[in-house]
Amino acid sequence: METAIRFEEFMHRALHDPDHGYYAKRIHGIGRRGDFTTAPVISSMPARAIARWATAAMRESGCRDLIEIGPGNGALAAAVLKHLPWPTRWKTRLHLVETSEPLTRIQRETLGSKARWHRSPADALAACHGRAVIFSNELVDAFAVRRFQNTAEGWQELMVKIPSGRDAIESLEKISALPSSSSFHQPHPIGQWIEVHESYQHWMSEWMPLWKSGRMLTIDYGNSAEKIYHRRPTGTLRGYHFQQLIEGPEIYRHPGHRDLTADVNFSDLIDWSNEWTGISRLQIFADFLQSHAKPRDESDRFLIDENGAGSAFMALEQSCKKSSEKPPAPR
pLDDT tens digits, 2-32: 789 999 999 999 999 998 899 887 665 554 4
DSSP 292-320: H----SHHHHHHHSTTSGGGSEEEEEEEE
Q: What is the pLDDT at residue 326?
A: 42
CATH architecture group of domain 38-143+198-228+263-324: 3-Layer(aba) Sandwich (3.40)
Q: What is the pLDDT at residue 31?
A: 43
Whether 301 shows a pLDDT value over 80: the answer reads yes
Q: What is the pLDDT at residue 29?
A: 53
Q: What is the pLDDT of residues 97-151, one digit of tens each?
A: 999 898 999 999 999 999 999 999 999 999 999 999 999 999 999 999 999 999 9
Q: What is the pLDDT of residues 181-213, one digit of tens each?
A: 999 999 999 999 999 999 999 999 999 999 999
**CA contacts within 13 A on the Cβ side of 204:** 22
Among the listed residues 15, 2, 14, the one whose alpha carbon sits nearest the alpha carbon of residue 255: 14
In the three-class reduction of DSSP (H, G, I as helix; E, B as strand; rest coil), residue 3 is classed as coil
Q: Which residues pair with 265 in a beta bridge?
A: 223
Whether 319 shows a pLDDT value over 80: the answer reads yes
The number of beta carbons lying within 10 Å of the beta carbon of residue 114 is 16
Burial 62-93 (b: 16+ CB within 10 A, else e): ebebbbbbbbbbbbbbbbbbebbeeebbeebe
Average pLDDT taken over every residue of the chain = 92
How is the chain split into domains, by residue range?
A: 1-17+146-196+229-258, 38-143+198-228+263-324
The whole-model pTM stands at 0.93
Q: What is the pLDDT at residue 166?
A: 78
- DSSP label at residue 165: T
- Amino acid at position 236, single letter: T
CB 264 within 8 A of CB 314: yes
- Using a 10 angstrom Cβ sphere, with 0-12 exposed, 13-18 middle and 19 or more buried, the burial of residue 161 is middle
